[in-house]
Amino acid sequence: MLVLYGTKGSGSAAAEAALEIAGLPYRKVDAASWKESPGLEELKRVNPLAQIPTLVLEDGSVLSEVAATLLHLGLTYPESGLIASAPSQRAQQIRGLVYIAANCYAGIGILDYPDRWYPDPDDAVKQAMQTRGRARLHELWEIFADQFPATPWLSGERLGALDVLAATVSMWSGARKALAKSRPEFSALLARIEAEPHVAAVWARHWPKEQKA
């Protein structure tokens, strides 16, 4: 059975939603680098970086990096619709997944852990990094919204991997509130993604109060 490592309110929600859409059985292990738990020690044994989500496949091989995980699931289980079969449409989905991972997800890492990028920052430096970092993150989401129109979903005619990753990563660092003002149509799309039954079931576990920070 597939084994998914993650915790509430984290990026593992995207992998979990993809597994639900694909109808795949899996076992969840509660684990995150920021909290001690038996699951964390198990996670470190399969992924020394203790990143989540981490997905262990049926053959025991390990998948980290959420975009890679979503691509693997979509390509391995094409009937799920997570990744399109048409080459041009698939290319744009891959582009979008990598865009979010490389720009938006990475930007959140700087906001949450500024000391990883600037050694021992004092309060003023940390505040400056977070203020500018948050503004840049919101700019990156606006660019994404302009570049990836819904037709009717980000993934095309069917809800897919790009939709669940966008809905997940936009939950953090004030992105939802900013997009509601600057890109209302995209904000409405994110709400529509969340309302899809498979995604809604995952969201109820990860964000029971639907608080979009």
The full 3-state SS of 173-195, as one line of letters, equals CCHHHHHHHHCHHHHHHHHHHHH
118 touches 159 (CB < 8 A): no
**Domains, the chain, ranges and CATH?**
2-80 (3.40.30.10), 87-196 (1.20.1050)
Answering whether pTM is above 0.85, one says yes
Which secondary structure element, helix H or strand E, spans residue 75, and what is its range?
Answer: helix 66-76
Strand 54-56 versus strand 2-6 pairing type: antiparallel
* Residue 129: predicted pLDDT: 83
d(C-alpha 45, C-alpha 143), whole Å: 38
N-to-C CA span, the chain: 34
* Residue 178: predicted pLDDT: 97
* Residue 210: predicted pLDDT: 55
pLDDT in tens, 130-186: 888 899 999 999 999 999 999 999 999 999 999 999 999 999 999 999 999 999 999
Q: Is the pLDDT of residue 10 over 80?
A: yes
d(C-alpha 60, C-alpha 54), whole Å: 12
* Residue 122: predicted pLDDT: 87
Please indicate whether residue 109 or residue 48 has the higher confidence score (pLDDT): 48
Q: Is the pLDDT of residue 211 over 60?
A: no
